[in-house]
Structure 1
Amino acid sequence: MVMGRATKKYTVTLPEEPAEEIRAEVGPGAFSAYVTRAIERQREHDRLEELVGRLEVEYGPVTDADPSAAESGRRGKDSHRSGIRVVTSAMTLAEVTPPSR
């Protein structure tokens, strides 16, 4: 089982050089998990491409100015947040409100 899910054996043909490099890096026991994660990332990428395509049909293509405008808007919202900070410690995220003044 990979990541707690039922598995099924498949035969695929891969380019030898990158496949052997990956197998050497992750070890033979982790090769299937590595390939599974790569497939999952590709599926996510494909779904995001489909979403972008649908959004572009509805709203038009993204222009070069759009990312800058979105970033400026995000920064404006962040500066108006009411004193909430995110503290990272031992891989745990916690929201902390500073003491009242």
Structure 2
Amino acid sequence: MATKKVTVTLDESLVEALADAAEQEGVPLSRLVAGAAERELRRRAARAVVQEWQAERGAFTPDELAAARAEMAAADAEYLSSAGTSAA
């Protein structure tokens, strides 16, 4: 993967908090920031897909939203339980 060095300006306290988080995770600060940026781009893409779907088919029903939330909670629980066991 090609990389490009860029300069950004952030609040000093934010940089310190990010540096602490990166150290706790054992990753470079740049990797932590890149991961956050990647998540933001995925979130925006997902929002666009949802908006497009709803524009074509109408808003989600309460039952559809409840089913989606339950599915996401189950996926989160599965991920967190597997992440916890692999870290040990």
Length-normalised TM-score, structure 1: 0.58
Pairs within 5 Å for 1:17-96: 17-27=13-23, 30-68=28-66, 70=67
2:9 is the alignment partner of 1:13: yes
C-alpha offsets along residues 1-50 of structure 1, whole Å, 9 cap, x if unaligned? xxxx11111111112212211102323x7100001100110010000000
C-alpha offsets along residues 73-98 of structure 1, whole Å, 9 cap, x if unaligned? x8xxxxxxxxxxxxx7x75xxxxxxx
* Superposition misfits of 4+ residues, deviation over 3 angstroms: none
Alpha-carbon distance in 2 for matches of 1:54, 1:63: 16
Alpha-carbon distance in 1 for matches of 2:7, 2:45: 25
Bigger fraction of residues in helix: 2
Bigger fraction of residues in strand: 1
- Of all paired residues, the percent bearing the same amino acid is 29
The count of aligned residue pairs is 69
The alignment yields a C-alpha RMSD, in angstroms, of 2.3
Length-normalised TM-score, structure 2: 0.65
Gaps of 5+ in 2: 72-81
Gaps of 5+ in 1: 75-87, 92-101
